[in-house]
Structure 1
């Protein structure tokens, strides 16, 4: 039984599927852990839930303005800027 499953799924043609599903699961896991651990609106413990609505704007701003957002803030939304510049610059 297990060798039939291995023969069917452990082929080189199935590797891109494994990579895509693995990347999706990894992104979902990262988002879940990030939200549970550092999101100011998620309260896991009973003491934090009893606090009600908090006005913690500084903590929310810190959560929102993470490293990746700061890194790409002033960049143009292009995938290949060199190729775009080559085809759009009138030389």
Structure 2
């Protein structure tokens, strides 16, 4: 009655999906703690109060993913959408 009762091959996709979800959560937490201008971890930064640092906030908001998708059509598979939606002329 060892670990073979609990760890079966059918459970591996569940472990993988849970691991990916936890990884995304950790990445977002690290991104917020290290880069968000509204999060202040050290005592010196918290003592500064409310700052009007719009440039730093804009830099945080305009991440590489947003820059990549800006101006693109909101489609997952554009070639398949074009194939089924545009008539042959």
Give TM-score scaled by structure 2 length.
Answer: 0.93
Root-mean-square deviation (Å): 1.1
Deviations 1:40-74 (A, max 9, x none): 00000001000000000000000000101000111
**Structure 2 unmatched runs, 5+:** none
**Structure 1 unmatched runs, 5+:** none
- Pick from 28, 40, 44 the counterpart of residue 43 of structure 1: 40
Give TM-score scaled by structure 1 length.
Answer: 0.91
- Check if 1:22 corresponds to 2:42: no
Query: Residues of 2 paired with 1:39 and 1:88: CA distance?
Result: 42
Which one has the bigger helix percentage? 1
Query: Residues of 1 paired with 2:87 and 2:46: CA distance?
Result: 60
After TM superposition, what 4+ stretches of structure 1 lie above 6 angstroms from structure 2?
A: none
Query: Residues of 2 paired with 1:71 and 1:54: CA distance?
Result: 29
